[in-house]
């Protein structure tokens, strides 16, 4: 049984990490979260749960508007060939969360250390970062240094790599579907 949000908050307390959590409606996409998180200070993020052809699993954590080329990211993160999104069952097994709730806080559930953590370098320019606390009905703000301490306390040594190549224009209209 995966650890819960309450377990996560206790772990923060045990580590002496101060966080602030704001409740909100459930967000499943970056676009949905932009509307509801506008008044929460700090860097807003997205989390990509990826798998390579040798079944290595990666959690890539970046700013919400980071442009990431999924066809080339394997070259930057050390994956064996192109990556795909991990299946929901694997996500639950390793991080204890469902799609839409992916978060580096889920590393608390990866006790076997199967997930390789990749933090996009530009994201770490923010002093405060925001993630779901294992469920997508809240956002927890954490200091950058405390995030790194938390990840290391879960037994993971994060790779800090510039995986993004600029920013997406999240306010641009979506392209029309081709006929």
What are 53-112's pLDDT values in tens digits? 999 999 999 999 999 999 999 999 999 999 999 999 999 999 999 999 999 999 999 999
Q: For tokens 């499943």, name the residue.
A: 28
DSSP-assigned beta bridge partners for residue 138: 23
Give the domain range for residue 134: 5-161
pLDDT confidence bin for 168, thresholds 50/70/90: confident
Q: What is the CATH number of the domain that holds 49?
A: 3.90.960.10
DSSP H helices, 46-170, are: 73-77, 88-95, 144-153
The answer to whether residue 53 sits within a structural domain is: yes
Instruction: Evaluate whether 77 touches 159 at the Cβ level (below 8 Å).
Output: yes
What number is the average pLDDT over the span 36-62?
A: 90
Question: Average pLDDT over the chain, rounded to whole?
Answer: 90
The span from the CA of 134 to the CA of 123, in Å, is 20
Number of domains in the chain: 1
The answer to whether residue 131 sits within a structural domain is: yes
The answer to whether residue 151 sits within a structural domain is: yes
What are 9-24's pLDDT values in tens digits? 999 999 999 999 999 8
What letter does residue 166 receive in the DSSP assignment? S
The answer to whether residue 167 sits within a structural domain is: no
Q: Give the residue, 149 or 165, on which the prediction is more confident.
A: 149
The answer to whether residue 18 sits within a structural domain is: yes
């Amino acid at each position: 049984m995966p650890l819960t949000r309450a377990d996560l908050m206790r772990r923060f307390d045990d580590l002496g990490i101060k966080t602030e959590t704001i409740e909100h409606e459930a967000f499943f996409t970056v676009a949905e979260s932009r509307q509801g998180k506008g008044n929460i200070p700090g860097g807003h993020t997205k989390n990509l749960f990826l798998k390579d052809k040798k079944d290595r699993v990666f959690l890539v954590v970046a700013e919400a508007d980071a442009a990431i080329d999924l066809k080339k990211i394997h070259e930057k993160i050390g994956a064996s060939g192109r990556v795909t999104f991990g299946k929901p069952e694997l996500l639950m097994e390793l991080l204890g969360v469902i799609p839409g709730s992916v978060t580096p806080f889920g590393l608390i559930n990866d006790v076997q250390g199967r997930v390789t953590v990749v933090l996009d370098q530009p994201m770490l320019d923010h002093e405060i970062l925001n993630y779901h606390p294992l469920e997508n009905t809240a956002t927890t703000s954490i200091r950058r240094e405390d995030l790194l301490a938390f990840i290391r306390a879960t037994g993971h040594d994060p790779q800090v790599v510039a995986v993004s190549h600029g920013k997406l224009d999240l306010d641009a209209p979506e392209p029309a579907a081709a006929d």
